Amino acid sequence: MKEDFYEILGISKGASATEIKKAYRKKAIQYHPDKNQGDPKAEEMFKKAAEAYEVLSDPDKKARYDQFGHSAFEGGGGFGGGSMNMDDIFSQFGDIFGGAFGGGGGGFSGFGGFGGGGQRRVKGSNLRIRVKLTLEEVANGVEKKVKVRRKKQAAGVTYKTCSTCNGNGQVTKITNTILGRMQTAATCSTCGGSGQQIDKKPNGADAQGLVVDEETVSIKIPAGVEEGMQLKVPGKGNEAPGNGVSGDLLVAIETLDHASLKREGDNLHFDLYISISEAVLGTSKEIDSVGGKVRIKLEPGIQSGKILRLRGKGVSNINGYGSGDLLVHVNVWTPKELNKEQKDFFERMQNSENFEPKPEKSDKSFFEKVKDMFS
Ligand SMILES: [Zn+2]
């Protein structure tokens, strides 16, 4: 059972924002780790007070807490027992103590021997590239090999423990504040927090011991990506010096237009043109789609404007929900020039009863078809 946030701060439910702030300030001073060295109970109270203040000082969180209690923050809320670390807590202080701790947060971590802190692993910078994909590649997924110019640790480079911070990654400062003597830690500016500095720098390497090297990186692109999406290849950005970790390679997707297929979500559209005689007599056509050739049969008497739906012949869904459809729009091509024989034929047909339009209910209007397409 978690304690009530109001009780922790020793205030009533109707407390104003100023009262909440004042109460927290009092508790923070009372239980501050520097004044209670080696007292785990004080540390516990210090953290509890910070957690209570984190919620009650935020109007949104406070409203949720007032309504639902602790359950408002379970599962993703981030306020499960002691989830705040000391960095979080000290970053509150800029607000509470008006910057009395120097520079409004940011600089605090690794306090008097608890809460972790210490050296952090430096991460190399990310690299960005663009990849152009054909519709076929988008529809089926593809593995692309791209040349990337990455910074890497030069051959023969060595690193040693940073002499400024002795490998801690941080330098400690003693300052006098309203809470008494405070020990604060800041990231070491010599090593940037890694705790290491360059020892042997080979020729051609930069100040961090890195050189630019071209590397072929293989990128697996899943089916169904869209223009503007960004994929991440972890660890294929620039390397970091020392024992740091590499940055990531960020891949922006560009898609190329297809000569005859149009994409709409996971569906594909294709305009098929057939002759009047094909429409009258029926025919069979082959369509070059993204998964290869698709053969479709057109029944005798097919109407211009009919849309044939080929299920699953579209683009694979990026989230794995099957594939879209290929929608074939039938267009009957009317000849613009006729020779004498053809002209005679059509003139004779003008009076034929079979050539007179008699649309049936099943010959849906354009608007009904559009409605169908999106349903
Ligand atoms: Zn250092």
Residue 106 and residue 104: Cα distance in Å, rounded?
7
Residue 205 and residue 211: Cα distance in Å, rounded?
5
Instruction: Identify the pLDDT of residue 99.
Output: 35
List pLDDT tens digits, range 175-214: 777 777 877 888 888 888 889 999 999 999 998 999 999 9
The H-or-E segment that residue 187 falls in is strand 180-187
Of 4-18, 35-49, 293-307, the range with the lowest mean pLDDT is: 35-49
Residue 89 and residue 100: Cα distance in Å, rounded?
14
Instruction: Identify the pLDDT of residue 70.
Output: 77
Going from the Cα of 222 to the center of ligand 1, the distance in angstroms, rounded, reads 42
Going from the Cα of 212 to the center of ligand 1, the distance in angstroms, rounded, reads 25
Using the predicted structure, report yes or no on whether residue 13 has a pLDDT greater than 90.
Answer: no
Going from the Cα of 197 to the center of ligand 1, the distance in angstroms, rounded, reads 7
Three-state secondary-structure class, residue 310: strand
| Same domain flag for 147 and 216 | yes
The mean pLDDT of the chain is: 84
Going from the Cα of 196 to the center of ligand 1, the distance in angstroms, rounded, reads 6
Given 235, 256, 277, the domain boundary residue is: 256
| Same domain flag for 126 and 249 | yes
pTM beyond 0.75: no
Residue 334 and residue 307: Cα distance in Å, rounded?
18
| Same domain flag for 101 and 34 | yes
| Same domain flag for 164 and 226 | no
Residue type, 66: D
Average pLDDT of span 258-279: 96
- Helix ranges (DSSP H) in the chain: 5-9, 17-30, 40-56, 59-68, 86-96, 135-140, 276-281, 340-349, 366-373
Instruction: Identify the pLDDT of residue 190.
Output: 87
Going from the Cα of 352 to the center of ligand 1, the distance in angstroms, rounded, reads 95
**Mean pLDDT highest for which of 19-33, 67-81, 310-324?**
310-324
Average pLDDT of span 224-252: 94
Using the predicted structure, report yes or no on whether residue 243 has a pLDDT greater than 50.
Answer: yes
Going from the Cα of 173 to the center of ligand 1, the distance in angstroms, rounded, reads 14
| Same domain flag for 286 and 351 | yes
| Same domain flag for 232 and 133 | yes
Going from the Cα of 335 to the center of ligand 1, the distance in angstroms, rounded, reads 81
Average pLDDT of span 168-174: 86
Percent of the chain with pLDDT over 70: 83
Residue 272 and residue 266: Cα distance in Å, rounded?
19
Going from the Cα of 187 to the center of ligand 1, the distance in angstroms, rounded, reads 8
Average pLDDT of span 272-281: 97
Going from the Cα of 313 to the center of ligand 1, the distance in angstroms, rounded, reads 59
Going from the Cα of 99 to the center of ligand 1, the distance in angstroms, rounded, reads 25
Going from the Cα of 242 to the center of ligand 1, the distance in angstroms, rounded, reads 12
Going from the Cα of 228 to the center of ligand 1, the distance in angstroms, rounded, reads 40
Instruction: Identify the pLDDT of residue 219.
Output: 95
Using the predicted structure, report yes or no on whether residue 102 has a pLDDT greater than 60.
Answer: no
Domain that holds residue 194: 158-200
Q: Helix 86-96 and helix 40-56: axis angle, to 10°?
A: 60
List pLDDT tens digits, range 342-364: 999 999 999 899 999 888 776 66
Going from the Cα of 210 to the center of ligand 1, the distance in angstroms, rounded, reads 18
Let me know: does 240 contact 213? Beta carbons within 8 Å: no
pLDDT bracket for residue 334 (50, 70, 90) = very high
CATH number of the domain enclosing 227: 2.60.260.20
Of 30-39, 203-212, 218-227, the range with the lowest mean pLDDT is: 30-39
Going from the Cα of 110 to the center of ligand 1, the distance in angstroms, rounded, reads 14
pLDDT bracket for residue 368 (50, 70, 90) = low
- Looking at the 3D structure of the chain, how many domains does it have? 4
| Same domain flag for 248 and 265 | no
**Mean pLDDT highest for which of 75-84, 172-181, 264-273?**
264-273
Using the predicted structure, report yes or no on whether residue 74 has a pLDDT greater than 90.
Answer: no
| Same domain flag for 164 and 183 | yes
Environment class of 165 (CB within 10 Å of its CB; exposed 0-12, middle 13-18, buried 19+): buried
Percent of the chain with pLDDT over 90: 52
Going from the Cα of 171 to the center of ligand 1, the distance in angstroms, rounded, reads 8
Using the predicted structure, report yes or no on whether residue 121 has a pLDDT greater than 80.
Answer: no
| Same domain flag for 127 and 228 | yes
Nearest to 123 by CA among 235, 198, 249, 250: 235
Going from the Cα of 119 to the center of ligand 1, the distance in angstroms, rounded, reads 9
| Same domain flag for 129 and 226 | yes
Say which residue, 77 or 303, is predicted with more confidence: 303
Supply the DSSP string of 312-345, one letter for each residue. Answer: T-SPBPTTSS-B--EEEEEEEEPPS---HHHHHH
Average pLDDT of span 164-171: 90
pLDDT bracket for residue 370 (50, 70, 90) = low
Going from the Cα of 316 to the center of ligand 1, the distance in angstroms, rounded, reads 50
Instruction: Identify the pLDDT of residue 39.
Output: 81
| Same domain flag for 250 and 278 | no
Going from the Cα of 168 to the center of ligand 1, the distance in angstroms, rounded, reads 7
Say which residue, 72 or 344, is predicted with more confidence: 344
Residue 77 and residue 58: Cα distance in Å, rounded?
13
| Same domain flag for 274 and 193 | no
